[in-house]
Structure 1
Amino acid sequence: MFDLDAYLARIGLPARVTPDAEGLGRLQREHRLSIPFENLDVRLGRGIAIDSAGVFAKLVTARRGGYCFEHNRLFMDALAALGFQVRPLLARVWLGVADTPPLTHTLSLVTIDGRDWIADAGFGGSYAPVMALADGWEAEAPDGAWFRLERHADHGWMLSRKGEAGSTDGRGTGEGWQPQYSFTEAPVFDADLALANHWTSTAPQSRFTQLTLASIVLPHGLAGLTDRRYHRRAGDNDTVAEITDPRVYRMRMSLMFGIDLTTDEVASLGLF
């Protein structure tokens, strides 16, 4: 059985949210503020478990972070425990690609009083607030970025982004509306998630096997590490630095993201 109280304590919520759109948005935001996005286990050659028990043990009990398949498994389990009607979707991430990308991202479809909403607790860069599944729906994120959801002739739905927010995952951003990810409402089964997770965590073409990533949402911004590059944006303040000392890397990972690495683990990442 899902330990809802332990999850709520992990994300700093003193009470359960109401099972409506406002409660959904608050839960997603507190989750993003509390649990970092990271792919350290991929880079350390460890398998990525995406079953409920394995994800809970890592992200809640061990107070680690994870990437989309881990975050959104935990988030969906919490939503179900709170009485929400929720199921997973699979998405294609379009940032920094030229050809049609594979299905390497997952998000949640939540139905509230007969209306569908999308929620995503596991995207590594600037994230969209909870959005109604409606053509032309727009919403502003706390970091100043704008998001728009539109029907797409070939890929079902397209979520696009523009504004102040930058990327902390090595993919960069541009001016104007940038396609972020596309998805359909097709049913997604555990086997689909397992296949997508396996490719994402093992394929040489996957950015998660190429880069060492960590990020955390701030109240009005985002902080991230891409290999040795540290980036922090909070309001109008933007800081970028290159970390050249593994001791500083360990300290930054601990203080900013709450992830404590051993000296051997840092050495195994091959960054220094």
Structure 2
Amino acid sequence: MTSDRAADHGPQPAPGIDLDAYLARIGWSGERRPTAQVLRSVHRAHLLGIPFENLDPVLGSAPSLALADLEAKLVRGGRGGYCYEHNTLFAAALTALGFRITLLCARVVVGAAPGDVRPRTHMLMLAGVPGEPTPYLADVGFGSAGSLLEPIPLVAGAELHDSPRHHRLVNTPHDGPLEQWELQARTADGSWESQYAFTLEPFEAPDYEVINWHIATNPRSPFSHRVYAQRTTPNSHLSLSGRTLTVTAQDGTREERELADGAEVLSVLTAGFGIRLPEGTRLPE
């Protein structure tokens, strides 16, 4: 099958992760074997353990995707990151645990107007489990209440009740030689909302370096000038966009409030999102 070949022969992240430190950071202490159960468990632990945030671009720099720098920031530094940081780190950890990793890139479609074609800017991956013919879509870097809590098998029509969330994978039509996949999330009203679309073309680390630079430094990129933060907890999902703080409960109900100023934003990032801010951090006006 095409998906199995992709999982077997895709680009592999560089070795060398401090697996002990990473697993301690996400609070995971299970048996280190490349099984589907371990994949689901580590995936959920990462989502609960490390927040999503884009402070580096807002403060004027493109974050490094070097593994040592990611460990210093996300593992030891008490920080979070955005998709390239999260998924580069996660892919290295899964590789160290014995999973086969194929790196992919998706077009984010949630919130897009009909007919809009967005660039492929979101990093995700396939994780192959030894002995299983079908890989799993894994993604710990999609900063949204619609993101996967656990990986989902790469099977058309597959549904995942990653409680309290509910996802499915479908094939969608498009112009191109490769079949297109779409991740959808169930909304509070019972409808399916498209999150992102992707093909199984493998991507390499230098591809993400280019995309990362564009997203972090392009003045038209919202990530370069607006604070975004996400934190998933066992009971809720916290989202910060600019000064708008949204708390989504397990039943889908939402509460929003506007923060007063940059000082309150920094306070909420520390107290609510668990982000250890660099000393002297000040947000641009």
Asked if Structure 1 and Structure 2 have the same fold, meaning a TM-score greater than 0.5 normalized by the shorter chain, the answer is: yes
- For 1:208, the equivalent position in structure 2 comes to 223
- For 2:156, the equivalent position in structure 1 comes to 135
Distance 1:263 1:11, change over 3 A: closer
Is the CA contact (8 Å cut-off) linking 1:133 and 1:149 kept in structure 2? yes
Match of 1:163 among 167, 183, 187: 187
Q: Deviations over 1:53-74 (max 9, x none)?
A: 1211111121210000000000
Count of aligned pairs: 259
CA distance in structure 2 between the partners assigned to 1:54 and 1:190 by the alignment: 15
Report the Cα offset of residue 208 of structure 1: 1.1
> Percent identity between the aligned chains?
36
SS across alignment from 1:115: coil
Distance 1:33 1:42, change over 3 A: same
Structure 1 position 80 matched with structure 2 position 95: yes
- For 1:148, the equivalent position in structure 2 comes to 168
CA distance in structure 1 between the partners assigned to 2:227 and 2:155 by the alignment: 35
Is the CA contact (8 Å cut-off) linking 2:30 and 2:38 kept in structure 1? no
Report the Cα offset of residue 17 of structure 1: 4.2
Structure 1 position 244 matched with structure 2 position 260: yes
- For 2:117, the equivalent position in structure 1 comes to 100
CA distance in structure 2 between the partners assigned to 1:45 and 1:56 by the alignment: 21
Distance 1:83 1:9, change over 3 A: same
Residue type of the alignment partner of 2:135: D
Is the CA contact (8 Å cut-off) linking 2:79 and 2:277 kept in structure 1? no
Match of 1:41 among 46, 56, 62: 56
- For 2:40, the equivalent position in structure 1 comes to 25
Q: Deviations over 1:247-268 (max 9, x none)?
A: 43332111122223368523x3
Is the CA contact (8 Å cut-off) linking 1:142 and 1:219 kept in structure 2? no
| Greater Cα offset, 233-242 or 39-48 | 233-242
SS across alignment from 1:106: strand
CA distance in structure 2 between the partners assigned to 1:178 and 1:15 by the alignment: 34
Is the CA contact (8 Å cut-off) linking 2:77 and 2:276 kept in structure 1? no
Residue type of the alignment partner of 1:226: S
CA distance in structure 2 between the partners assigned to 1:196 and 1:246 by the alignment: 28
CA distance in structure 2 between the partners assigned to 1:91 and 1:235 by the alignment: 27
- For 1:254, the equivalent position in structure 2 comes to 270
Residue type of the alignment partner of 2:276: D
CA distance in structure 2 between the partners assigned to 1:34 and 1:227 by the alignment: 23
Distance 1:227 1:247, change over 3 A: same
Residue type of the alignment partner of 1:102: P
CA distance in structure 1 between the partners assigned to 2:264 and 2:225 by the alignment: 22
TM-score by length of 2: 0.85
Residue type of the alignment partner of 2:162: A
- For 1:223, the equivalent position in structure 2 comes to 238
Report the Cα offset of residue 235 of structure 1: 2.6
Match of 1:117 among 123, 127, 136: 136
Residue type of the alignment partner of 2:35: D
Report the Cα offset of residue 42 of structure 1: 0.6
Match of 1:9 among 21, 24, 33: 24
Is the CA contact (8 Å cut-off) linking 1:8 and 1:16 kept in structure 2? no
The answer for unaligned runs of 5 or more in structure 1 is: 165-173
- For 1:69, the equivalent position in structure 2 comes to 84
Is the CA contact (8 Å cut-off) linking 2:61 and 2:217 kept in structure 1? no
